[in-house]
Amino acid sequence: MTIENLIKHANTHTGKLAINVHKFGGSSLANSECIERVIDIICRHCQINDIVVVSANGGVTDQLFNLCQLAKDEVDYTEALNNLHFQLKGLIAELLNEQNSSYLTKQLSDDFLQLSDWLANDYKQQRNNILAFGEVWSARLLSAVLNERICPSHALDSRDFIQIASEQEPQVNYDYSRDQFNQLKQTHQLTIATGYIARDVNGQSCTLGRNGSDYSATIMAALTGAANVTLWTDVDGIYSADPRVVPAARKLHRLPNGVARELGRLGNPVLHVNTLKPLEEHATHLHVASSFDSEISGTEIGKFGFLAKQELSVTYSNDVLLVSSEHLSALSKPEAFTRFSPICFDEKQALMVIKQEQQKAVSQWFASKVGDVTFKPVAIIAVVGHKVAERGDVKARFKRALENTRTLDVVSSTSEHSIISVLPDSCSPELTNVVHHEMTKDAKHIGVVVAGLGNIGERFLSLLPNQIKRQSVLENVHLVGLLSSKKALINTDGISPKQALLQFEKQAKDYDETLLLTWLKNHPYDELIVVDITPSETFSLLYREFFQQGIHVIGANKWAASSSTEYYNGLTALAEQNGSVWLGNTTVGAGLPINFAINDLRRSGDEVKAISGIFSGTLSWLFEQYDGSVPFSELLTNALSQGLTEPDPREDLSGRDVQRKLLILARLAGFTLSLEDIECQSLVPEQLVSLSTQDFLKQSHLLDELFENQLLQAKSEGKCLRYIAKFEINEDGYQANVGLAFLDTDDAFARLNPCDNIFKIESQWYQDNPLIIRGPGAGRDVTAGGIHSDLVAICEQLSTKQHQVKIKGLNE
Ligand SMILES: NC(=O)C1=CN([C@@H]2O[C@H](COP(=O)(O)OP(=O)(O)OC[C@H]3O[C@@H](n4cnc5c(N)ncnc54)[C@H](OP(=O)(O)O)[C@@H]3O)[C@@H](O)[C@H]2O)C=CC1
Ligand SMILES: N[C@@H](CC=O)C(=O)O
């Protein structure tokens, strides 16, 4: 990939030119395979003026720590040093061409001479300079690989521009750092900056502690006013609980800033409290994404509306201490927070909970100021969410979840975004699961995108508000997208179902398939359902993309279900593979449960032998009404205006619609066939076949004579006109056809109400007395009702579906 590609690719994918910061952690850069993956992510997601922040290659910092320790203990470290040198030389050789490799290897050897010297003579003073090598080597190598293969890039040592007060108090001097950075940064080159390291005001090398590279990345964002920071890491997002402990944990797609800060404060391993600090005064959004699968949407942290604020998560820690002292009251709350940032501080109960690592500082302060203090190991479990401390319902549920557990107290005063319970014993995985279940059991949010706002789509939407109100399974369904053939309205925070069409009219933008697919890929919902109420083949071709993303489809559109055998089989396999549910109850018989019945017979072990009947509501209505007194074309216009026909009524008259329906049912019954295998008699005269729909409707009087003749002939035989579909198995396999028939007027297929469909199913279990399903087979209400039935069915299925959390090293 070239620099032009990098720019073009990035622009077309993000549509933005603002600077973005990308940070790759050590495990994402652990070996040449990982680095190749990082390069791929850079090609897909970076723009040329972006900043990439890197940690040391996986394991290198640990080895540098170890070398310092060995030097301190005066143990021979030669072998450890040589191993590290060998490992890094190997990485360089694997990734670069000979010339670049020998250049970098030479630089590395010089560094190792320096490293040896420091270890031998000055390891104490030079400790941070020794540790800093890890990031310097990593940035230098990545920059060299990019320069060789992808685009101009330069490596920067962050110690040359990030200045902090001191290692103990790592507040950044932003003005100075920004100035220095602007002097060093080269435009039209990708900047690869070292994470984890900075300098203090005295010019000494400092490290930024745990998650230090994440902190570097957000500092860089604050320096440059970046729009986004992405932490590319080995997890694919922040979950509602630790997924290794709680298998039912849900990914939190969007976290409000305050909630993320509270999670970090309580010890979330991905969100360190320092990481979020530089962004406090900026509109920058922080993303957590997986470098092992960059296409999975991760977690976005920023400013969000109502829905994201509803999310709850549960976190716990067993590494905390309860501080008791009769002098605790000497410590005011503000002072306690400035000095120790305790997890809990409850003045009334004279109770303070701190992290284990704070024990030394706390005990020193008490000893020097007021007197004795004791520490007792305890645990905490907390529910975290936007302003939960003010939510009585959340508190009540939290208390109920803990009713069988020994607790010291529930504390809600520490932060408005958490309610914490202090436990005298460790917090067990069982308790975490119970509390998580209680707090999040009804929290699965389902997004719905409706494509097609015509005849049926409009009726479907008009029923939606009441359905959501009445059907408890739809409680967490949110209408998030509306599409017509030319316009689209997507609103991640939900479109009011009551105002849907009005909002569409006012706010919809031009339909852009690429933007739509990008949104669908990154949608923030637990599940997403696309309801296809279009008659469009083009739209049906997007099902592949939907299923690839695990998106569910309800299709009233018959194209996909009646596509070629190969395509159809591919689609069903893809849906199954990705856990997508595909329902199409209304593709045959509108709201009648015919698809369901055939599916159920087959699922239960029955074998369908024949399916026949009247499958077109339109033709049923027309032939029931047509007695020659009103021209056929006039009746057709009437059927169209009632919403019975296909948008182009020739789909009905040509038999194509019935042919599709027979194919769909035969496939559901387990047979492999395609449209071409079903003989079809068209009732559309040749001269009307290739006209536009509008012109066809204008010329529809040309149908009149043809139907009049058919009617006269049928009547002369004492019969009536019907359009019949028939599929049956025989010795040669099967036979399938759809076409016009003259039936006795007392035939079961003739005695129908206008618009009725009738389905006759013969099977092993229904041989002598076939199974009959009969009722209205077209129309706005029954079809919209049938789509709602699919929506309820999908939501019921999804309510019991568990997410498979993918964690590197656990199940990947
Ligand atoms: N009528 C019935 O009784 C039954 C109908 N159905 C099926 O329901 C579907 C809809 O029928 P109906 O409501 O009558 O059709 P309409 O023509 O009234 O409405 C179709 C809608 O789909 C939109 N659309 C067309 N192409 C696309 C596209 N590529 N992307 C997004 N939107 C698109 C149209 O947009 P625009 O307005 O811009 O053209 C319009 O909003 C059909 O597939 C039909 O077979 C199924 C069972 C029964
Ligand atoms: N045009 C169709 C509508 C439903 O699929 C019919 O008349 O049956």
Q: Which of 532, 653, 657, 781 best tests ligand 2's pocket when mutated (most atoms within 8 Å of CB)?
A: 657
CATH number of this structure's domain 3-234? 3.40.1160.10
Distance CA 339, CA 345 (A): 12
**HSE-up of residue 173 (Cα within 13 Å, Cβ side):** 19
Contact yes or no for 508/482 (Cβ under 8 A): yes
Residue 413: per-residue pLDDT: 62
Least confident of 166-170, 391-395, 632-636, 684-688: 391-395
What the block records as the tokens of 95 is 């990734």
CATH, domain 594-778, list 3.40.47.10, 3.20.20.10, 3.30.360.10, 3.40.50.150 = 3.30.360.10
Rounded-to-5 percentages of helix, strand, coil across the chain: 45, 20, 35
Identify the residue with better confidence: 85 or 307.
85
For residue 557, the CA-to-ligand 1 centroid distance in Å is: 8
* CATH number at 446-587+793-799: 3.40.50.720
Pocket test for ligand 1, best of 514, 533, 636 (most atoms within 8 A of CB): 533
What mean pLDDT is predicted for residues 239-260?
92
- Whether 644 lines ligand 2, by a CB cut-off of 6 Å, is yes
Ligand closest to the CA atom of residue 533: 1
- Ligand 2 binding pocket includes 646 (Cβ within 6 Å): yes
Residue range 219-242: average pLDDT? 93
CA pair distance 157, 153, nearest whole angstrom: 13
The three-class DSSP label of residue 630 is coil
List the beta bridge partners of residue 617. Answer: none
Q: Is 622 in the pocket of ligand 2 (CB under 6 A)?
A: no
- Residue with the smallest CA separation from ligand 1 atom 6 is 556
Q: Are β-strands 51-54 and 20-24 bridged in parallel, bridged antiparallel, or unpaired?
A: parallel
Average pLDDT along the chain? 92
Q: Does 586 contact ligand 2 (Cβ within 6 A)?
A: no
446-587+793-799 and 594-778 in the same fold: no
Ligand 1 center to 455 CA (angstroms): 7
For ligand 1, the distance from its centroid to the CA atom of residue 554, given in whole angstroms, is 13
Residue 579, pLDDT > 60, answer yes
CA 638 to centroid of ligand 2, rounded, Å: 14
The dihedrals phi and psi of 122, each to the nearest 5 degrees, come to -150, 35
Distance between Cα 643 and ligand 2 center (Å): 9
CB 635 within 8 A of CB 622: yes
Q: Report the pLDDT averaged over residues 392-414.
A: 83
pLDDT in tens, 614-637: 999 999 999 999 999 999 999 999
**DSSP category for residue 802:** P
- How confident is residue 397, by pLDDT bands cut at 50, 70 and 90? confident
Eight-class DSSP state of 172: B
Domain ranges of the chain: 3-234, 310-440, 446-587+793-799, 594-778
Residue 142 CA, chain-centre distance (Å), reads 30
- Angstrom distance (rounded) from CA 608 to CA 665: 10
DSSP of 394-460: HHHHHHHHTTTS--SEEE--S-TTEEEEEESSPPPHHHHHHHHHHHHTT---EEEEEE--SHHHHHH
pLDDT, tens digit, 9 for 90 and up, residues 497-519: 999 999 999 999 999 999 999 99
- What is the rounded CA–CA span in Å between residue 130 and residue 118? 8
Q: Which of 661, 719, 801, 806 is catalytic?
A: 661
The predicted structure's pLDDT at residue 807: 42
In angstroms, the Cα distances linking 783 to 587, 645, 699, 786 are 9, 12, 29, 5
Mean pLDDT of 152-167: 96
pLDDT digits (tens, 9 = 90+) for 2-29: 445 455 444 444 444 689 999 999 999 9
For residue 803, what pLDDT band results from cuts at 50, 70 and 90?
low
Can you give the pLDDT at residue 534?
A: 98
Residue 586: nearest ligand to its CA? 1
Residue 783 burial by Cβ neighbours in a 10 Å radius (0-12, 13-18, 19+): buried
Nearest to 554 by CA among 564, 567, 543: 543
Segment 93-146, tens digit of pLDDT? 999 999 999 999 999 999 999 999 999 999 999 999 999 999 999 999 999 999
- CB distance 451 to ligand 1 below 6 Å: yes
* Contacts of 804 by beta carbon, 8 Å cutoff, 6+ apart: 811
Beta carbon of 156 within 6 Å of any ligand 1 atom: no
pLDDT, residue 308, reads: 75
Instruction: Tell me the best of 534, 592, 615, 644 to mutate to test the pocket of ligand 2, counting ligand atoms within 8 Å of each CB and taking the most.
Output: 644
Pocket of ligand 2 contains residue 756 by CB under 6 Å: no
User: What is the pLDDT, as a whole number, of residue 568?
Assistant: 98
Least confident of 13-27, 57-71, 389-403: 13-27
Half-sphere exposure for 166 (CA within 13 Å, toward CB): 2
Task: For residue 705, give every residue at least 6 positions away whose Cβ sits within 8 Å of its Cβ, in sequence order, or none.
Answer: none
**Residue 661 annotated among the catalytic residues of the structure:** yes
* CB-based contact 281:289 (threshold 8 Å): no
Residue 220 has pLDDT above 70, yes or no: yes
- Measured from the Cα of 646, ligand 2's closest atom is 1
Q: Give, using CA atoms, the residue closest to atom 21 of ligand 1.
A: 452
Q: Which residue has the higher pLDDT, 680 or 6?
A: 680
d(CA 223, CA 212): 16
Between the CA of 518 and the centroid of ligand 1 the distance, in Å, is: 24
Q: Is 134 in the pocket of ligand 2 (CB under 6 A)?
A: no
Q: Which atom of ligand 1 is nearest to the CA of 643?
A: 1
Q: Kindly give the distance from the C-alpha atom of residue 739 to the centroid of ligand 2, in angstroms, as a whole number.
A: 15
In CATH terms, is domain 310-440 a member of 3.40.718.10?
Answer: no
pLDDT of residue 324: 85
Strands 254-256 and 477-483: unpaired
| pLDDT(370) > 80 | no
**Token pair for residue 590?**
């509108």
Number of the ligand 1 atom closest to the C-alpha atom of 535? 43
Element (H, E) at 583: strand 582-583
Residue by residue, what is the 3-state secondary structure of 749-789?
Answer: CCCCCCCEEEEEEEECCCCCCCEEEEEECCCHHHHHHHHHH
Share above pLDDT 70 across residues of the chain, in percent, rounded to a whole number:
96
Q: Between 811 and 6, whose confidence is greater?
A: 6
- Residue 650 Cα to chain centre, angstroms: 40
Average pLDDT score over residue span 757-774: 96
Task: Report whether pLDDT(234) > 90.
Answer: no
242 pLDDT band (50/70/90 cuts)? very high
